[in-house]
Chains A and B, each alone.
Chain A
């Protein structure tokens, strides 16, 4: 394990030599914006930030860090919500935004070779004229990067049909913590031996630095039908989701917004004309062969009505559909209207448990006197209870944390897990013991040790800071500085 370093002029000089002086930031004012990701409650300023332009520069940076005993943290756009890109003491942040080239697009074989800093949405835009798109579509897709998506195994509304990032990554180039370059996978998905690409995706940047990826491109569906179900309350909307799943339909997305979210959206630039009197809306999207979609949309409509929908509408054209999605994907931004801070939670439960879990989640928010809203991937059972608050209010912040913990415990009790797409990061590392036992975590540590025996690559993420601290101390999750380990 590397010793905790002090910032040394030698380290900075080495980093400058690796990437060039203008691509190495080390003044406090330059580092300020890198002290957290989108989980703003966890902060930790790095000692330096480097902005490499290619794999060779990343290798030089990593070797320089090792020579000086400095841990390092890969970072994409910093849109992560679990503190995955937050620097532990003495760490160097490797910011990949300048490695943002789409190196190759092969339409016939349906893949693209990209650098990690390519913004998610830019890739789909780049291949749209070829009739293709990149399927994982996190809500932050206008800003988040493919490299960050690989680290977190990001999802999005359309993962219900298309899967998460892991289903779309064919190969990666990985700079190991000793600076060596590992090529894993191939355009045709070939890997000798074990599926190391699958192991790297979702490893939260703890196994190495991804400097290139080959990703699968998907044909744009022939037609899309978008159905908007308007419900008196969120529980009935959840029941409709259960009916749709059970019917054997495979929608591409099933998303729910509750009333508080609807109001926030309608008060914002993302307003889409959603009905303010609705207790919840369900956006159900179907895609595929044009001939089959109309009857499927009609079936969704019937199922929604049977579950208690007040009314059901269908997007009349692409413009209206895009308006619905603008509202959905802009919901998190719109919540900035409700309070200075937003805690975006992320947990998963069996879809059949959604009605009772949602009712209890709302009760938890009420019990703690919090402004809690829900906008979530209902088709995957992936909840996003969002708590609006003011972090300057110590009492409210404490209640936010307590409510968050109760929500996680509830979800695990119902057969779920503590994160569906945001990752564990620093946010939930001390809650992973709710889901996994000691031997389960040991197996994960075996994998970590095979890639990074000295734990210098993004330390302080995923694994509990203390042994089963959740069991021994339910309040162990402090917003302290991130220790190494």
Chain B
């Protein structure tokens, strides 16, 4: 942890705020110092100073996803992108925007709407920043219509762990000039670089948005309904929630031109007996299903596997939130069974549960991420279920982009 002397070593960086406060606990590490560069150049200086002092940083935007990742080997300071905020350019003719990484998504969204466009990024929580969403490749249910964060970024300005300020991509909507490094950086969770700003391709504002809800007494029927709803032309998001003993709920958000939305809504009503609900209900269900639990896992799944997997997991005391059209199942729980001793994190009580998850992932030809877990559980296992296949390349990438391990060493897959 960073002592006073280490904090003192970072003092005096120009155009860079250094705050000391109540230590924030992240995965058992207490971090009291927050370094907030106010420009990309100051970010370069900050990373060079960290390198020179042999210190390590966790990069933070809105702080919604700090718990995602393996345990950091070291973290002396939080490196905040809040000072890198602002709508640098918004071209309403082109439908593109260049935004500072620290820009709150709500602010970016408002600017886009004012120009007649929509920001195609789904905030994972309140206060989310653009840089945080991109670094985490945070995928909300609206990615069904928006596409994934990787698909809407045209270019990035980043500072590598080496301290080099570099750019990839650009401001045009089609571009194969050089390697597509933006794909590498998006989702790298601040382990290779710190995003300073991004060019984003906006999408037209929908003429109409509707949220429809259907209930089902049957898990399988709910999965099938969710997949069916996801495949309507105007479906922008679709979630199926399974919470405790309550009936499964299917929520489908339609967005687009008036004619298509109304026609799709009519057809969905006829097929699934949907009712219209407040649009805000989508985020409320999402927050309730995923928030507050001690263990949360994101499991990518093929659409055809949802029904069987949901049926299998339903015998466990967990909350499930499925995005069937996107191929994600979120699993959140506090204990693996109802019997005493079923609390996880004690001994190896979780081993059978994770064996089941591994088996599900193998059958799905994929993997999963443990997005939230107690520290002792994180100490026992890599939160990214992974084969060893790409690890040598992942290690070589980390070594090249962050040679001294300044940026969250240990947090990536393979504890790299």
Q: State the A residues within 8 Å of B (CB).
A: 106, 108-110, 152-153, 155, 159, 163-164, 166-167, 176, 182-184, 186-190, 192-199, 201-203, 219, 222, 242, 245-246, 248-250, 288-289, 291-292, 295-296, 348-352, 377, 380-382, 415-424, 428, 432, 435-437, 439-444, 446-451, 453, 462
Contacts and interface: CB of A to CB of B under 8 A. Distances in A.
A288 B233 contact: yes
Interface in B241-293: 256-257, 259-260, 263-264
Given A242-B93, A292-B256, A421-B174, 17 more contacts: A189-B366, A192-B390, A194-B184, A194-B413, A195-B184, A203-B179, A288-B260, A289-B233, A381-B173, A420-B174, A420-B175, A422-B176, A423-B176, A424-B176, A440-B168, A447-B181, A451-B396
A348 B172 contact: yes
Q: What 7 A-B pairs are tightest by C-beta distance, nearest first?
A: A198-B183, A193-B413, A248-B204, A192-B386, A190-B366, A446-B400, A450-B396
15 contacts: A166-B183, A188-B300, A188-B327, A189-B366, A190-B367, A196-B393, A245-B94, A246-B93, A289-B234, A350-B172, A380-B173, A416-B170, A417-B175, A444-B168, A446-B397
A245 B303 CA distance: 33
Contacts of A424: 176-178
Interface stretch (B58-66, B185-193, B335-343): B185-193
Nearest to A206: B179
Contact of B257 (A166, A296, A448): A296
B384 A193 contact: yes
Contacts of B390: 182-184, 192-193, 196
Which of A193, A380, A451: most chain B CB closer than 10 A?
A193
B95 interface: yes
Interface residues of B toward A: which range? 35 or more
A54 B330 CA distance: 38
Contacts of A444: 168, 178-179, 181
B164 interface: yes
Contact of B365 (A159, A187, A202, A416): A187
Interface string B128-155: 0000000001000000000100110000
B400 A450 contact: yes
B394 interface: yes
B92 interface: yes
Contacts of B369: 192
B160 interface: yes
Given A194-B184, A219-B231, A436 B401 contact: no
Nearest to B401: A446
B5 interface: no
B259 A441 contact: no
- Max chain B CB contacts within 10 Å: which of A192, A201, A421? A192
A166 B186 CA distance: 14
A420 B180 CA distance: 12
Given A186-B366, A248-B205, A443-B401, A381 B174 contact: yes
B315 interface: no
B412 interface: yes
A454 B327 CA distance: 38
Contacts of B203: 250
A199 B183 contact: yes
Interface centre among B264, B303, B387 (most CB of A within 10 A): B303
B181 A443 contact: yes
Interface in B384-406: 384-387, 389-390, 393-394, 396-397, 399-401
Nearest to B151: A167
Interface in B80-105: 91-96
A289 B300 contact: no
B384 A248 contact: no
Contacts of B187: 194-195
A295 B259 contact: yes
B345 interface: no
B181 A421 contact: no
Contact of A193 (B167, B178, B386): B386
Contacts of B414: 192-193
A334 B401 CA distance: 47
Contact of A188 (B96, B205, B366): B366
A194 B188 contact: yes
A435 B169 CA distance: 9
B379 interface: no
Contacts of A451: 393, 396
B177 A417 contact: yes
B186 A195 contact: yes
Given A195-B186, A198-B184, A291 B259 contact: yes
Interface string B301-318: 111100000000000000
A222 B180 contact: no
Most chain A CB atoms below 10 A, which of B116, B165, B302, B416: B302
A351 B96 CA distance: 11
Contacts of A418: 177
A280 B187 CA distance: 43
A196 B401 CA distance: 14
Contacts of B111: none
A155 B174 CA distance: 9
Contacts of B137: 195
Contact of B175 (A186, A195, A348, A439): A348
A109 B172 contact: no
